[in-house]
Amino acid sequence: MAVNILPLPNSVMTAFEILAASDPRACLLVNAQGIVQSVNPAVKHSLPGIEPGTDMMSVSASPDLVAEFLAQCARTRGPVPGSIVLTGMDGEPNDWSCHGGLVGEAADGSALIILRLQLSELGKSAFAKLNQKINALNSEIEWRIRADQATAHLAAIVASSTDAIYSKDLDDNITSWNEGAERMFGYSAQEIVGTSSRSLIPQDGRAEEAMILRRVTAGETLEPIETVRLCRNGNLLDVSITPSPIKNRDGEIIGISKIVRDISVRKRIERSLSAANKTFEQLVNNSPFGIYCIDADFRIALVSAGAQKVFENVRPLIGHDFSDALRILWPEPIASEFIDLFRHTLETGETYHGPNTVENRNDTAEQEAYDWKIERMILSDGRPGVVCHFYDLSEHQKFEAALRESEQRFRGTFENASVGIAHVGLNGQWLEFNDRLCSLLGYTRDELLQRTLDSVRHPDDHALDGEQVDGLLSGDVTSIQCEERYIRKDGSIIWLGVSVGLQRDDADSPAYLIHVARDVSDRKAAQEHHEFLMHELSHRSKNQLAVISAMARQTARSAKSLDDFRGMFEQRLHGLAVSIDMLVKQGWGGVPLRNLINKQLEAFKGSDDRLQCEGLEVTLNSTAAESIGLALHELSTNCLKYGAWSVPTGTVSIIWEFRSADTGKQLFLQWVERGGPPVIQPTHRGFGQTVIEHLVAQKLDAKVELSYPTAGLEWTLLLPLGD
């Protein structure tokens, strides 16, 4: 039974359409009374009897259960799992798995609920834990569902794991292989699936693999096993393997899955530690640090090679009374002070540390500096003794002085350079940069540290392509040179010429990139200006040839003799030269508008009666004079070639005046042609029209209108002059 539906809020309909449009399940939007408000395309295929206006109670085999489920959904935005029984078109009831939830309110304030329906028999994998009827299915379906679940679970693990995960059957043939395994062993899934897993096992490890197979198939749960596996390139890899059985529906083991973790780094560390432990005694005996022990009887018990230099004038050494040795080495009262310190530590266990002891030796008369420490410890005879470990600071102090001097030179060069210098990590993060780079980009040091190199580079300029960087990292090239734009803090653009080099670490691996940047904005601007001038020159050259030709024809028509023609033509050429000179000249202090008009037009107008000018005195700055002069030149050229001045009777009227506006005073300037050929609006936009219409408007922030009445072309300029 269909009933009327209430108008739905746009937000609810939009939400429903977004949620349900691509959902393969049947999705319905219903109100709290069960009236269908909207459906998605899947409903038309799986539930053709349900449409907007349908009462869900009328198509349900259990209306009370539907009402109860809708009430529960209306209290939460879900998802609320459940199931309902609907009567199909054939009159047979069908069980539907359902997820519902609140999505909004109807116009009358009642709840609007979204229902996502899926036939139970088509969704067991997704609803296995929710659908209690799974136990009623036959064993074949149950086994297939479990197999699908296991496959899906394994697929999820395989897809997301960074470890190598693969499975094999009991004949040792590999049946699955994830991306982690591809990365770890070097085999693709296409290459290795279906082959024997023995290709991964070194010859001497196959007995171990057989043992693992026996224990797993016997049902034993194994802890991770640390072993060695063989990669495609022939390298051996230390790994930790966790084997698990794969069972069929009857619980029989039909294969083994393995999670393999690369532990090569840890094993290398362990081997290093083992080697360190084995050579500890050798390191002590041969350490460049001085180490010696005093026994409970205050005799020298052990002296490392690093301490031999201190005791070179004490012979015999081992077993010698330590007090006598100290008095040979150091003058009084220093020797007695040292003896008291050692005895105090031996008796009390109190540690002593002399971080920077500088004294003159008694036996060599040389000054030496030491960082030394004495501690009580139990020696091999079970009695307490004193161990002293020290470091000769004499060379260290010289090294530190040299290092400080080197650092000062580097820092002075880095910070005082006239170019921007930055150290950039391979991930694009700043490591270090100088103040000049901050100045170039307009940021403080703290502000620039919060940004990355890519965030200040213009998005259209990524001159460092992957091939160049790869060449730098591989050593094929030593540096990269490029020019690119950067966005300063104030939003302005700066062109930087960048030289990029690579710094390697002690292992000759790439460590970071060194960027040296210089401001090339002026050169880029000059280059762009040069290109514009070349374009302008080309255009002007072609244009002037046409103008000169037109002037020659017009002069010939009005000349009475050859001498008369020569004089008039030379005069017009001179006026044209003056016009060109005014166009290209830069840095004017100011140009009267009337003079500008006269200078620009005197080479074009012919007789004075063909030009009428009317307006107050006004002086234009250099920018306005240049831009308006360009426009007047183009208008004059066009007028001479195609407009009013192309015929003997045509005239041009130019008027200008001041006008007031909300933004301040404005200059109104108008060019009007009359008496020429009928005007037709051109279909092609040339450089001249671009100058007339757009260049003036953009450079002067002015309003420009160009129209083509049949009687003659009209051009109007409205130029803001400020207050």
Q: 129 or 385, which is more confident? A: 385
| Token pair listed for 501 | 């080099």
418: helix, strand or coil:
coil
Residues 166 and 77 in one domain: no
| Residue 607 near residue 648 (C-beta atoms within 8 A) | no
Q: Is the dihedral of CA 335, 341, 343, 346 positive or negative?
A: negative
Give the model's pLDDT for residue 534: 67
Cβ contacts of 233 within 8 Å, gap of 6 or more: 186
Q: Where are the alpha helices (DSSP H) in 62-205?
A: 63-74, 124-127, 139-160, 179-185, 189-192
**Cis bond upstream, residue 333 (ω within 30):** yes
Average pLDDT for 118-140: 48
Residues 513 and 549 in one domain: no
Tally of domains in the chain:
5
Q: How confident is the model at residue 585 (pLDDT cuts 50, 70, 90)?
A: low
Give the model's pLDDT for residue 587: 43
Residue 60 maps to a domain: yes
Give the model's pLDDT for residue 123: 45
Q: How confident is the model at residue 620 (pLDDT cuts 50, 70, 90)?
A: confident
Q: Is the dihedral of CA 614, 619, 622, 623 positive or negative?
A: negative
CATH code where residue 687 lies: 3.30.565.10
Distance between CA atoms of residues 95 and 97, nearest Å = 7
Q: Among 268, 287, 302, identify where a domain stops.
A: 268
The closest alpha carbon to 489, from 519, 444, 524, belongs to: 444
Give the model's pLDDT for residue 714: 94
Average pLDDT for 419-442: 83
pLDDT tens across 253-295, in order? 988 988 999 998 888 888 887 776 566 566 666 666 788 899 9
Element (H, E) at 529: helix 521-558
Average pLDDT for 91-110: 82
Element (H, E) at 397: helix 393-416
Distance between CA atoms of residues 293 and 281, nearest Å = 14
Q: Does the pLDDT value for residue 438 go beyond 60?
A: yes
Give the model's pLDDT for residue 134: 35
Q: How confident is the model at residue 154 (pLDDT cuts 50, 70, 90)?
A: low
Give the model's pLDDT for residue 453: 79
Among the listed ranges 80-94, 124-138, 490-504, which one has the minimum average pLDDT value? Answer: 124-138
Residues 129 and 148 in one domain: no
Give the model's pLDDT for residue 348: 93
Residues 132 and 150 in one domain: no
| Residue 444 near residue 438 (C-beta atoms within 8 A) | yes
Give the model's pLDDT for residue 128: 47
Residues 543 and 652 in one domain: yes
Residue 44 maps to a domain: yes
Number of Cβ within a 10 Å radius of residue 37: 22
Residues 580 and 623 in one domain: yes
CA dist 295 to 144, 304, 306, 328, 678, Å?
Answer: 77, 15, 19, 19, 122
Give the model's pLDDT for residue 8: 66
| Residue 270 near residue 263 (C-beta atoms within 8 A) | no
Give the model's pLDDT for residue 32: 84
Residue 578 maps to a domain: yes
Distance between CA atoms of residues 719 and 665, nearest Å = 9
User: DSSP character for 466?
Assistant: H
Distance between CA atoms of residues 12 and 19, nearest Å = 10
Residues 703 and 584 in one domain: yes
Distance between CA atoms of residues 136 and 33, nearest Å = 33
Residues 362 and 428 in one domain: no
Q: Among 70, 104, 136, identify where a domain stops.
A: 136
Q: 523 or 669, which is more confident? A: 669
Residue 657 maps to a domain: yes
Q: 597 or 15, which is more confident? A: 597
Among the listed ranges 296-310, 346-360, 565-579, which one has the minimum average pLDDT value? Answer: 565-579
Q: Does the pLDDT value for residue 127 go beyond 70?
A: no
CA dist 526 to 488, 495, 522, 584, 695, Å?
Answer: 20, 12, 6, 15, 19
The pTM of the full predicted model, rounded to 2 decimals, is 0.30
Distance between CA atoms of residues 130 and 144, nearest Å = 18
Residue 410 maps to a domain: no
Residue 170 maps to a domain: yes
Work out the mean pLDDT of the chain and round it to a whole number: 80
Residue 497 maps to a domain: yes
Q: What are phi and psi of 194, to 5 degrees?
A: 95, -10
Phi-psi group of 182: left, alpha or beta (phi > 0 → left; psi -120 to 50 → alpha; rest → beta): alpha
Distance between CA atoms of residues 518 and 494, nearest Å = 10
Residues 507 and 547 in one domain: no
Give the model's pLDDT for residue 703: 92
User: What's the distance, CA 219 to chain centroid?
Assistant: 50
Give the model's pLDDT for residue 699: 81
Cβ contacts of 32 within 8 Å, gap of 6 or more: 70, 71, 74, 110, 111, 113
Give the model's pLDDT for residue 586: 42
Number of Cβ within a 10 Å radius of residue 679: 18
Q: 599 or 336, which is more confident? A: 336
Average pLDDT for 373-398: 83
Share of the chain above pLDDT 90, in %: 17
Give the model's pLDDT for residue 397: 62
Give the model's pLDDT for residue 277: 58
Q: Does the pLDDT value for residue 354 go beyond 80?
A: yes
Q: What are phi and psi of 494, to 5 degrees?
A: -130, 135
Taking the CA atoms of the chain, what radius of gyration do you get in angstroms? 46
Residue 402 maps to a domain: no
| Token pair listed for 153 | 């679970």
Give the model's pLDDT for residue 554: 53
Residues 366 and 484 in one domain: no
The DSSP result for 641-671, as a single string, is HTSGGGSTT-EEEEEEEEEEETTEEEEEEEE
Residues 448 and 552 in one domain: no
Q: How confident is the model at residue 509 (pLDDT cuts 50, 70, 90)?
A: confident
Q: Does the pLDDT value for residue 375 go beyond 90?
A: yes
Q: Among 136, 153, 178, identify where a domain stops.
A: 136
- Domain housing 365: 279-397
pLDDT tens across 315-340, in order? 788 888 999 989 988 899 998 999 99
Q: Does the pLDDT value for residue 140 go beyond 60?
A: no
pLDDT tens across 456-503, in order? 888 887 655 667 778 888 888 888 888 888 888 888 888 887 888 888
Q: Does the pLDDT value for residue 130 go beyond 50?
A: no
Give the model's pLDDT for residue 333: 92
pLDDT tens across 196-245, in order? 988 899 988 888 888 888 888 888 888 898 999 999 999 999 999 999 89
CATH code where residue 74 lies: 3.30.450.20
| Residue 353 near residue 345 (C-beta atoms within 8 A) | no
At residue 656's C-alpha, the angle toward residues 655 and 661, to 5°, is 140
Residues 254 and 211 in one domain: yes
